[in-house]
A and B are shown apart, each in its own frame.
Chain A
Amino acid sequence: MRLGCGAFAAGCVAVEVLGVALFLRGFFPPPVRSSSQPEPPAAPEPSAGASSNWTKLPPPLFGKVVVMLIDGLRDDFVFGSKGVKFMPYTTHLVEEGASHSFVAEAKPPTVTMPRIKALMTGSLPGFVDVVRNLNSPALLEDNVVTQAHAAGKRVIFYGDETWVKLFPKHFVEYDGTTSFFVSDYTEVDDNVTRHLDKVLKRGDWDVLILHYLGLDHIGHISGPSSPLIGRKLSEMDSILMRIHTSLQSEERKALSPSLLVLCGDHGMSESGGHGAASLEEVSTALLLTSSAFSRKPGEVRPPERVQQTDLAATLAVGLGLPIPQRSVGRFLFPVVQGRAMREQLRLLHLNAVQLSRLLHASSPAYEREPGFEQFKMAERLHGNWVRLYLEDNNSEVLHNLGAKVRRQYLGALKTLSRAVSSQVAQYDIYSMVVGTTVVLEVLTLLLLSIPQALGAAAELEVPLSPVCSLLFYLAFLLLWAMHVVVCTSAESSRYLCSLAWPMAGGVLALVSALLCGVLSTLTRTCVDGKLLRRNPTPSSWRWSELDFLILAGTVGHVLSLGASSFIEEEHQTWYFLVSTLCLALCHESYRACFLGDSGEPRRGSSPASALQDRSVHCDVLELDQARKSPSSLDRLGSREKYMVLASPWLVLGCCRLLRSLNQTGVQWAHRPDLGHWLTSSEHQAELSILSALSLLAIFALVQSRCSPLSKGALALGLLGVYCYRTATGHLLSPWQQDSKDLSRGIIEARFVYVFVLGILFTGIKQVLKSQVLAADAPAKTVGLWDVHSALVLLAALLFRPHNLPVLLCSLLIQTLMARFIWRPLGHGAAEVTVMHCWFGQAFFYFQGNSNNIATVDISAGFVGLNTYVEVPAMFLTAFATYAGPVLWASHLVNFLSWEPSSGSALGRACFCYALLSSVPVSAYIVLVTALRYHLFIWSVFSPKLLYEGMHLLVTAALCLCFTAVGRAGTKADAGRIARC
């Protein structure tokens, strides 16, 4: 059986996606969803010999607790110069009031939902929670809110809707505001504040939680140094003052102290985003205020650094609830400093018992942990102390001994908490190994079939011999035995073992089938190599400088993935490579124009091999026609010749411009860029003009090859894009000057969607028609270009307005390169594919993406949608993120199908595309496995892994499209060959 190399590559990538998915499942173990153990009873107070009767939980310390959570409240907004300037009341509380201030360190991923979970459960949510951030299911883990609800406390919540999803039945009263319309930063907060007066007056609640989103939205729009921040902080300060005064007056009546907690869920980077692990993103302010706190006047303490997870335990202690079971934090000791020694020790003991239980559950050798030993020691001392206390001993001795026990407990808690926090990451090595094996086998298969795939025939032999099937059964049996052994000896959970056995069997069969494929290809390659050595044919392939560059660039990029800085700054790698590529092309074009020496065909047509096969012969003839570069250069007029010389420089200029449009990465992300300048509110007019011009130019570039029907649709669609952006208030509209009511542009966006679908439909119809008729080449190219223009229109709708020049430049570069570089210089399909791939990658970063979750523009998922609908939102977000690579790939299909013999060219292109994306993925998977205990694994390497996985998925989809189009091409070719 023979298989076209396009179909082969598409199949390989599809299998590789499976492998990567398996690897990801093992690498990101899902967090424990249900607390299976019943709640253990509260530990009694230790007492050496004497009988203590205190077995119940201590009473609550505070009557009322208000948690005021401000999204993105970085520490310096409260404790820094901004706090002094804009939050006078809070500063007063921090400096002189009865309060304790801390800098709470959030663990990455610094995204809202995992942070809420961390604040309420005290545990460290898994990395996968980032992906589930958009669609949060109810929180089943033990947490403070559930405990409060169970204890009959009345909890009221106003703010971010995420809470309502996490705790669907826990609040007696709530009002959720949706956080997805990032451009709105006043109404989200007014919706919370409007309830405040009523609730504070009523006082029939125990816990009040307020979640303010406005600050974070301002950060996303204009960054932490914007003037809007100051205004928002003043607003928050006045709200805090209102709550605090109201609580104080309440306290006088109720006689029980209340607690006011001001905290942030995560910080804000210098560019205003969040999600990663930079110091600005993980440092949040935490302020606890209560009249129960005593404070010496004039005492100034710098805020202590604590963990964010400590708040859950503190709230539980404050409310007299059991500490959540999976909490890794220790409660903030200053909160209980004013209480009696016995109560302090009791609370410390409870926290230590909870932590040691958690340690016991997570590590088998818990008894040898230093924290546990310290805890046992402290417990013994505590028992002695209680005996002395019950025997009514001398108070000073008692106090000194108590202080010693307390110190011991605090040390034990610190060590225990650290030990428990570090045990969170548990990899499922078995799934990871199987996934890696699949990926590496696919890669080997692809690498081994390079000579065949890039040879003249572009076809591959699929081995189906009896030896192979025997080998397959043997390997399968062996793997199955191994699987059984691994699964029966397993202690921790393994995903593959928990699968139903047909599924696991399928995976193992896949592994063994791939193994057989690799082995048979290897033997054939060896045999071929021997044959070649026996009767050596003159090697017809000569390496040009460009091929060297392509190879070196690919290898260099793969190697660079080993360094965390290079991953953070990967955009620099691609910009560098693309610039170098342009210079190399420049060199080539100059040589071709002045010396005319690139005319010697790189792939010399050796007649002996060409005559072997008639179709090959036809192919080579056609290739040679396409490659007659001197003639094709000569055919160009002098003006075009100048364009050939100038276009690499134009491309370089475009790239440089785009590079300064969106600063991305980490090291230079704070540098001013054109994008920020354009999006700031005082430059709205410039942005409007730029967007309008870009849309016009996009139309001018795309329309020439469209069918007339889609030309009109495209024009209307691009007009609709502009209307949509004026409706959302990003751009100024020339016709209605004073429309203050910002609709969300639903109608306009849907209007554009209709045109996108219309153009897509006509395009696909034409492609299918040409496929059926099998000879109608021009109809097919027009159809393909229609599909391309539909994609362009969709991208224009989803891109933020300041990114429209990116789209324009991409189209411009595509046109320039296709007309003046690739066609006149006669590059082969493989080279053109690699260049498309590189440009696609560079444009991924030109759009402002990076290897950091925070830069994904989720607002693209809400264009034209009223509410959050999962599937379209995910698709739109993915398309907007990967628009660069997708558009370049679609241009590649178009470019290659203009050429004669497009079928085999598309097959080759598909193969190269698959190879180029699977090499970094495979290398990266191996690398991440090796670096899984690296310090930056969660902040740098894991997000990149998710990006790589997503990129592979996109590549697989693109390869399938390539193959579908290529199939039509081969049919048309077959018709031509039959005639030839």
Chain B
Amino acid sequence: MKNIDIKRLLYTHLLCIFSIILSIFIPSVFLENFSILETHLTWLCICSVFVTAVNLVLYVVVKPSASTKRSSLSYKVTRFLKCCIYFLMSCFVFHVIFVLYGAPLIELVLETFLFAVILSTFTTVPCLCLLGPNIKAWLRVFSRNGVTSIWENSLQITTISSFLGSWLGAFPIPLDWERPWQVWPISCTLGATFGYVAGLVISPLWIYWNRKQLTYKNN
């Protein structure tokens, strides 16, 4: 049972990674002069769309969370709308946090906002897919001993590693190497992406490694 779950987890994660790789290579077929660094904003949009789509598809196909009892259409629609609102809110919250961290307030607004969008894609979208618009559940998952399934565990790991990646991504900005990727927010978005990918890779392995120790309340 558990091993099957871990395998499913691994495959879904591989699909997510694959979607990021696709977002790097597919646009260069259709768009001229596409490169991650020079047309960074385009790549951010495309990557965000790809990852969101893959997440949604996986959610529909795999159905990791326990099936909800009520499944009327209106409930689903309100749920979906709520999710959209949550996503937008998280984008704005991230934007505010970046500004509080020192991102320019007036200049480069679009860049900062797209960074917020991509970080929301890596963190909020999986949360919404898995936990739904339920703040209490989120807080539970992101506190100690709060996870109740391997899905939540992997969610915890990928989210934290995305945050950590974007946090570490800010480090090279003050260095005087004068590389194109040191410009705000490229290093942070790249850091977030690397963190997300690393989280996707690490979490199945970590869960597999610790499968004996891990006991979930519900399983």
A531 within 8 A of B: no
A117 within 8 A of B: no
In angstroms, how far is the closest chain A Cβ from the Cβ of B173?
A: 8
B174 lies within 8 A of A565 (CB):
yes
In angstroms, how far is the closest chain A Cβ from the Cβ of B116?
A: 15
| Across-interface contacts of B176 in A (CB, < 8 A) | 564-565, 667
A183 within 8 A of B: no
Quick one: CB contact mask for B173-215 with A, threshold 8 Å, 1 for yes? 1111000000000000000000000000000000000000000
A576 lies within 8 A of B144 (CB):
no
Q: Answer whether A569 and B174 are a contact pair too, CB < 8 Å, given A580-B167, A595-B139.
A: yes
In angstroms, how far is the closest chain A Cβ from the Cβ of B40?
A: 21
A576 to B175, CA, bound (A): 15
Q: Answer whether A656 and B174 are a contact pair too, CB < 8 Å, given A595-B140, A595-B143, A597-B143.
A: no
B15 within 8 A of A: no
A579 lies within 8 A of B102 (CB):
yes
A482 to B173, CA, bound (A): 47
Q: Which residue of B lies closest to A580 (CB)?
A: B167
B102 lies within 8 A of A594 (CB):
no
A572 lies within 8 A of B102 (CB):
yes
A579 lies within 8 A of B101 (CB):
yes
In angstroms, how far is the closest chain A Cβ from the Cβ of B17?
A: 27
Interface centre among A564, A653, A656, A667 (most CB of B within 10 A): A656
A848 to B109, CA, bound (A): 26
Interface centre among B100, B102, B176 (most CB of A within 10 A): B100
Interface centre among A576, A580, A587 (most CB of B within 10 A): A576
In angstroms, how far is the closest chain B Cβ from the Cβ of A641?
A: 15
B21 within 8 A of A: no
B174 lies within 8 A of A590 (CB):
no
| Across-interface contacts of B101 in A (CB, < 8 A) | 575-576, 579
B143 lies within 8 A of A591 (CB):
yes
Chain A positions 580-598 with a Cβ under 8 Å from a chain B Cβ: 580, 583, 587, 590-591, 594-595, 597
Interface centre among B142, B170, B174 (most CB of A within 10 A): B174
B99 within 8 A of A: yes
A659 within 8 A of B: yes
| Across-interface contacts of A566 in B (CB, < 8 A) | 174-175
| Across-interface contacts of B135 in A (CB, < 8 A) | 594
A652 within 8 A of B: yes
B136 within 8 A of A: yes
Residue among A563, A580, A583, A656 making CB contact with B99, cutoff 8 Å: A656
A432 within 8 A of B: no
| Across-interface contacts of B143 in A (CB, < 8 A) | 591, 595, 597
Quick one: CB contact mask for B136-176 with A, threshold 8 Å, 1 for yes? 10011011100000000000000000000001001001111
Q: Looking at chain A, what size class is its interface with the partner chain?
A: 20 to 34
Residue among A572, A597, A655 making CB contact with B174, cutoff 8 Å: A572
A563 to B174, CA, bound (A): 10
A591 to B144, CA, bound (A): 10
In angstroms, how far is the closest chain A Cβ from the Cβ of B104?
A: 9
B144 lies within 8 A of A597 (CB):
yes
| Across-interface contacts of A575 in B (CB, < 8 A) | 101-102
B97 within 8 A of A: yes
| Across-interface contacts of A563 in B (CB, < 8 A) | 175
| Across-interface contacts of B170 in A (CB, < 8 A) | 576
Quick one: CB contact mask for B69-101 with A, threshold 8 Å, 1 for yes? 000000000000000000000000000010111
B175 lies within 8 A of A655 (CB):
no
Q: Answer whether A590 and B100 are a contact pair too, CB < 8 Å, given A565-B175, A565-B176.
A: no
A842 to B144, CA, bound (A): 30
In angstroms, how far is the closest chain B Cβ from the Cβ of A595?
A: 6
A653 lies within 8 A of B139 (CB):
no
In angstroms, how far is the closest chain B Cβ from the Cβ of A566?
A: 6
A594 lies within 8 A of B144 (CB):
no
A868 to B89, CA, bound (A): 58
In angstroms, how far is the closest chain B Cβ from the Cβ of A7?
A: 37
A656 lies within 8 A of B175 (CB):
no
Q: Which residue of B lies closest to A572 (CB)?
A: B174
A667 lies within 8 A of B100 (CB):
no
Chain A positions 645-691 with a Cβ under 8 Å from a chain B Cβ: 652-653, 655-656, 659-660, 665, 667
Q: Which residue of A lies closest to B143 (CB)?
A: A591
A591 lies within 8 A of B139 (CB):
yes
| Across-interface contacts of A583 in B (CB, < 8 A) | 97
Residue among B100, B139, B142, B144 making CB contact with A655, cutoff 8 Å: B100
| Across-interface contacts of A652 in B (CB, < 8 A) | 100
| Across-interface contacts of B167 in A (CB, < 8 A) | 580
A590 to B135, CA, bound (A): 11
| Across-interface contacts of A572 in B (CB, < 8 A) | 102, 173-174
A667 lies within 8 A of B174 (CB):
yes
Residue among A564, A565, A569, A579 making CB contact with B100, cutoff 8 Å: A579
Chain B positions 93-120 with a Cβ under 8 Å from a chain A Cβ: 97, 99-102, 105
A656 lies within 8 A of B100 (CB):
yes
| Across-interface contacts of B136 in A (CB, < 8 A) | 594-595
Quick one: CB contact mask for A28-54 with B, threshold 8 Å, 1 for yes? 000000000000000000000000000
| Across-interface contacts of B100 in A (CB, < 8 A) | 579, 652-653, 655-656
| Across-interface contacts of B142 in A (CB, < 8 A) | 587
A590 to B101, CA, bound (A): 20
| Across-interface contacts of A667 in B (CB, < 8 A) | 174, 176
A652 to B102, CA, bound (A): 10
Known: A565-B174, A572-B102, A652-B100. 18 other contacts (CB 8 A): A565-B175, A575-B102, A583-B97, A587-B142, A590-B139, A594-B136, A594-B139, A595-B136, A595-B139, A595-B140, A597-B143, A655-B100, A656-B99, A656-B100, A660-B105, A665-B174, A667-B174, A667-B176
The 6 residue pairs across chains A and B that have the minimum distance between CB atoms? A569-B174, A652-B100, A565-B175, A565-B176, A656-B100, A579-B101
Residues on A facing B (Cβ under 8 Å): 563-566, 568-569, 572, 575-576, 579-580, 583, 587, 590-591, 594-595, 597, 652-653, 655-656, 659-660, 665, 667
A-B contact pairs, 15 of them (CB 8 A): A563-B175, A564-B176, A568-B174, A569-B174, A576-B101, A579-B101, A591-B143, A594-B139, A595-B139, A595-B140, A597-B143, A653-B100, A656-B102, A659-B102, A665-B174
